[in-house]
């Protein structure tokens, strides 16, 4: 998997994410469920190497042959990210035995809470250990930032001047990566508890369709 992307692909992805945000807003306004944004060119997902909540080394390429659900989470978040966690748990439950063919990966977006213990505690607090194969990945801040950039995840940090008063906001999105390591779908996560069920259903359907591919 290529660690970098040409500028043209970057512009395409920015356009796709803008379209995804607009589609989500329009669907919400019209009372319809958001169906995600498909990658028509199926680009290879950039590889990366981090460590999981148990301190084990983990690389995206290590999941080749499995379908990957990749998301980005703040290890201290108490609002939108827990909704994403609920969505992932519901999706894994709906997949049933098929969830064993899926790798659920989260990448930490909080450089101030990037220790293995931080992602382990957040995993426990949000019951993500219920998902077979769940791994919450972290690393040194420069390593994390490199992954955010490769996946066009915007991370904004504000501070009042005290290390313990940092606020992290970030792009809330989920990628579906097929068994050949190609990006197939992107979902923008809505900060709305009412959207969790419909989003989980859509994710489940997209995953099942990708699992049927040969």
Residue 2 pLDDT greater than 60, yes or no = no
User: What's the chain's average pLDDT?
Assistant: 84
Architecture of the domain defined by 7-212: 3-Layer(aba) Sandwich (3.40)
pLDDT digits (tens, 9 = 90+) for 156-175: 888 766 556 678 888 889 99
Domain regions of the chain by residue span: 7-212
Closest CA to 75 of 105, 113, 124: 113
Query: Each residue of 96-136: pLDDT tens digit?
Result: 999 999 999 999 999 999 999 999 999 999 999 999 889 99
Q: Which of 118, 15, 107, 33 is nearest to 69 (CA)?
A: 107
pLDDT at 209 exceeding the cut of 60: yes
Are 88 and 131 in contact by the 8 Å Cβ rule? The answer is yes
pLDDT of the residue at 18: 43
Q: Kindly state the tokens that stand for 140.
A: 């040194």
Question: Quick check: 13 pLDDT over 60?
Answer: no
Nearest to 191 by CA among 12, 34, 17: 34
Specify the pTM.
0.83
How confident is the model at residue 165, as a pLDDT? 63
Residue 14 has pLDDT above 90, yes or no: no
Rounded distance between C-alpha atoms, residue 175 and residue 37, angstroms: 10
Q: What is the mean pLDDT of residues 181-187?
A: 96
Q: Measure Cα distances from 182 to 12, 15, 129 in Å.
A: 15, 18, 26
Helix orientation angle between 196-212 and 80-95, rounded to the nearest 10 degrees: 40
Residue 10 has pLDDT above 60, yes or no: no
Which range, of 18-32, 118-132, 170-184, averages the lowest pLDDT?
Answer: 18-32
Check: CB of residue 45 under 8 Å from CB of residue 181.
yes
What pLDDT is attached to residue 189? 82
Average pLDDT over residues 9-37: 50
Inter-CA distances, 112 with 18, 47, 74, 141, 169, Å: 28, 23, 10, 8, 13
Give per-residue pLDDT as tens, 52-96: 999 999 999 999 999 999 999 999 988 889 999 999 999 999 999
CB neighbour list of residue 124: distance below 8 Å, 6 or more residues apart? none
């Amino acid at each position: 998997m290529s660690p970098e992307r040409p500028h043209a692909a970057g512009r395409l992805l920015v356009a796709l994410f803008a379209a995804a945000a607009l589609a989500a807003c329009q669907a919400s306004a019209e009372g319809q469920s958001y169906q995600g944004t498909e990658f028509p060119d199926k680009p290879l997902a950039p590889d990366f190497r981090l460590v999981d909540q148990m301190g084990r080394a983990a690389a995206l390429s290590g999941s080749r042959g499995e379908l990957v659900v990749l998301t980005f989470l703040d290890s201290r978040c108490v609002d939108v990210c827990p909704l994403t966690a609920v969505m992932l748990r519901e999706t894994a439950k709906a997949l049933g035995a098929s969830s064993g063919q899926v790798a659920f990966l989260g990448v930490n977006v909080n450089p101030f809470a990037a220790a293995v213990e931080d992602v382990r505690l957040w995993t426990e607090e949000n019951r993500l250990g219920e998902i077979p194969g769940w791994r919450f990945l972290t690393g040194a801040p420069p390593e994390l930032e490199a992954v955010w950039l490769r996946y066009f995840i915007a991370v904004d940090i504000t501070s009042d001047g005290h290390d313990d008063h940092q606020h992290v906001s970030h792009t809330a999105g989920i990628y579906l990566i097929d068994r050949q390591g190609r990006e197939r779908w992107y979902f923008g996560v809505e900060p709305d508890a009412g959207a969790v069920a419909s989003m989980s259903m859509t994710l489940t359907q997209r995953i099942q369709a990708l699992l049927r591919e040969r």
